[in-house]
Structure formats: structure tokens, C-alpha cells
Amino acid sequence: MTATDMAKITINLVVIYVIGGLIMAFVYAKTSPIMFIKAKEEKEAALKLMMPEADTINTLGAWEPHEKHAEYYAALKCGEVKINQVTDEKTGKMKEEKECLSPEDIGYIVEGYGKGYSSYIHILASVDKNFTVQKISVLAHGETPGLGDEIEKDYFLNQFEGKSADNLIVIKGETADKIEAITGATISSRAVTEDGVKNGVIMLQDKLSGEVR
């Protein structure tokens, strides 16, 4: 093999990879801002769904389950909604702006991660003021299709309503007050229940019960 051959092969490979890289970078540059906005909107919609009766949801702080960034929120309900007439700065027209008077905490929402069978399961859990679970939802996961992905199904998720942190334990087989594991997916069930929701609720209790509300 001569030096020319070596140069040919190298240039051939480099050129094709550069073209491939440029195409991928171009697609990424075009899509990622839209993806980011859509993901944010979806998160807000998911939060709203966790506590439909809340008027506003405020971020209280952040914590790091499994070294990932996760936030927790307070769900507020307005004692009274006052509608103010204000002038819009841009158009100069009058418009209505809602003002929340004497807001009251009706519960909290915590974002968390549970280490599952083949992925970190991204969850949201809402609790009332006594830290009893109201609702949970699975935002994203990479568990086995057909087995672990049953954690998204309502029959599993609905078990969480009304459970306190002490009862967030997975049991194989039937149970009256704990969480029943999904057949063939005990690890995923545990990840959601014990690693995700339970740790989140305990973290909320630790951080919030000391504060005067």
C-alpha cells in the first residue's frame, strides 16, 4: 500500500463523515429549540394534570435523585380571584389580568427518578397537605416493552391514591393497603414505588414539614 492509497482512504472516510456530521448537526440545530419548547409545554400540562383543582403551581426548589435534576412544586388555590383592568404596554388596549388573593397551599408535587430494570423512570407524584399521595404519573422510561412498560397503565398507577409514605411498598401478589407488583416486572414496580414516589414523598416531608405554613 502506497502513501497515495492511504491518503485516498483517509480522505474518503473523512469527507463522508464530515458530510454526515453536517447533516446531523443541521437537523439537530433546527429541531432542538422546538423540541425544548414542546417538552416544557408538556411538563406544564403534566403538572396541571397532577392537581387539576390548583390555580397556580409554583416551583419551590430542586433536589437530586440519582444525581439528576428534579424539582418540587407547591400547588396553590386562590382564596379569591380578583380581575384587574390593566393597560397592555404594547398595544395600549385594556385587558383583564387575574390576581390571586390569599392563595392557600392545597398540596405539593414532586418530580423524581426511580432506577428501573433498564432505565431511570421519570415520575411525578402529587400529595395533599398531609403528604398522602393523590396521583402519580410516569413521564418517561425505557423499560421492557410488554412487561416493564405496564407501569404506565392505570391499573398500576391508580393504586397509589391515598397511600402515605409508610404504605408505599411493593408486594408480590394481592395486597389491601400496599402496592401490588406488576407480574413479570417487579423491578420496574419497585423503581416507581419505592425509589421514585416514596423517596420523593419522604424528601418533601423532610423539607416542608419544618416550615411554618
> Toward another protein, which CB reaches closer, 20 or 79?
20
Burial of 10 (0-12, 13-18, 19+ CB in 10 A): exposed
193, 121 contact by CB (below 8 A): no
7 sits near another protein (criterion: CB under 8 A) = no
69 sits near another protein (criterion: CB under 8 A) = no
Question: Which member of 60, 100, 106, 147 binds another protein (CB under 8 A)?
Answer: 147
Which candidate, 157, 149, 189, 195, places its Cα nearest to that of 173? 189
> Which stretch of DSSP H or E encloses residue 170?
strand 170-171
> Toward another protein, which CB reaches closer, 23 or 86?
23
**Which residues within the stretch 102-141 sit at the binding site for another protein (CB under 8 A)?**
none
183 sits near another protein (criterion: CB under 8 A) = yes
* Helix segments in 121-211, DSSP class H: 154-157, 186-190, 199-208
> Toward another protein, which CB reaches closer, 139 or 169?
139
Minimum CB–partner distance for residue 72 and another protein (Å)? 24
173 sits near another protein (criterion: CB under 8 A) = no
Question: Which member of 2, 3, 4, 34 binds another protein (CB under 8 A)?
Answer: 34
Which candidate, 133, 145, 134, places its Cα nearest to that of 169? 133
146 sits near another protein (criterion: CB under 8 A) = yes
Minimum CB–partner distance for residue 20 and another protein (Å)? 5
- The Cβ of residue 101 has, within 10 Å, a number of other Cβ atoms equal to 10
Cα atoms found within 13 Å of the Cα of residue 39, Cβ hemisphere only: 8
95, 50 contact by CB (below 8 A): no
171 sits near another protein (criterion: CB under 8 A) = no
Which residues contact another protein by CB under 8 A? 8-9, 12-13, 16-17, 20, 23-24, 27-28, 31-32, 34-35, 38, 42, 142, 144-147, 183-184
